[in-house]
Structure 1
């Protein structure tokens, strides 16, 4: 079973979250995958996916803020 090994980017409270909780976040997993906490927008965007994109029934489309991804950019490995 994979485990969270580190946060990618800065914690929510460092990005201005008042409570530091319930905010978008990105984590690197021990198997090399990434876990994302974001807003589930599957119902809104599923029909808008390009013709060459699809998702499995167990997958969801999630949104994270631009700020979350920009703060994570420096921590994302090149390979």
Structure 2
């Protein structure tokens, strides 16, 4: 599996103070997506609706609204 492309613009164009360590979204060669974000599993697991759960190998990851909005134009429709 490989990273094919970034969705949206680089963190430096979204105002990153460090020009790199910010949330990001990438498309993978298998068609899935990888997300760099803040691990919020501990804080949010108890807030999930009753029909949702986090497996031991999963994490709830928060990305900023600005990151997702910047990626919107690059997210495939199908």
User: CA offset at residue 18 of structure 1?
Assistant: 2.6
Can you give the 5+ residue segments of structure 2 that lack an aligned partner in the other structure? none
1:35 aligned counterpart, secondary structure: strand
User: CA offset at residue 25 of structure 1?
Assistant: 0.2
Partner Cα distance (2:48, 2:56) in 1: 14
The TM-score, its normalising length taken from structure 1, stands at 0.95
RMSD: 0.6
**Cross-structure match for 2:72:** 73
Larger mean CA deviation between 33-42 and 18-27 belongs to 18-27
Does residue 64 in structure 1 map to residue 57 in structure 2? no
Partner Cα distance (2:50, 2:18) in 1: 40
1:74 aligned counterpart, secondary structure: helix
Deviation string for 1:39-67 (max 9, x for gaps)? Answer: 00000000110011112100000100000
1:6 aligned counterpart, secondary structure: strand
Partner Cα distance (2:22, 2:50) in 1: 31
